[in-house]
Homo-oligomer: A and B are copies of this chain.
Amino acid sequence: MASSYNHVAGQSVERLAALSDGIFGVGMTLLVLDLRTPALEAVRGEHGLWGALAGILPQLVMYMMSFITLGIFWVGQQTQLNLLERSDRHLTWINLGFLFSVTLLPFSTKLLAEYYPYRAALLAYWFNIVLLGGSLYASWGYAVRHRLLRADTPADVPAAVCGRIRTAQALYAFGALLCLVDTRISIGFIVLVQLEFALAPRFRPRRSPIPTPSQTLDP
């Protein structure tokens, strides 16, 4: 009976995607909830409000970085789920572990924002990123090994996904190590890695009006 249940449990990739979007959506919105408007009694005149807003700026930058981190892992998980033919019970639980790490990120971000000169805060933040990357890596490995990928997945994609996660985690680990010198150098390095992963062009943007063969082959 148990085996028969396990064959039908947790097979829906759509439901997993929907739950993930819900959790990411709430997490991304809550990050900004902590931004407080300046206290009315503390602000004197137009000048005072500009000053108070400038005082909020570092906090805003910090939340933007968290949003980008969540964005990076959202795109990463989305790419995996799009390539799945179906899910199963075990893959679902690996992804629930990933989502648990996602819900922790607002906490570790706030911790790092408040205690940025402390190595403990930096290592806690880094540990969160290791959990995120590690569970995505485990999820992909499991999907490949158990043949859950769509038949039309390009042959070089499985290795590309693994390589990408390994490279990112190696860079994050190096960034964390830099805290032996100074935690601010660590944070700066990690931020650069994230911006590179989120924003840097990895190939020349295609602006030619004539589609190339590879474009037309895109699903």
Contacts and interface: CB of A to CB of B under 8 A. Distances in A.
Interface stretch (A23-31, A170-178, A184-192): A23-31
Contact of A28 (B6, B18, B23, B120): B23
Nearest to A47: B120
A202 B2 CA distance: 7
Copies of this polypeptide in the complex? 4
Given A21-B18, A37-B110, A203-B6, A118 B11 contact: no
Interface string A40-62: 10010010011001000000000
A146 B209 CA distance: 8
A21 B43 CA distance: 36
* Residue of A40, A82, A110 with most partner-chain B CB within 10 A: A82
A43 to B, nearest CB: 7
B198 A8 contact: no
Interface in A71-111: 71, 74-76, 78-79, 81-83, 86, 89-90, 92-93, 96, 99-100, 103-104, 106-107, 110-111
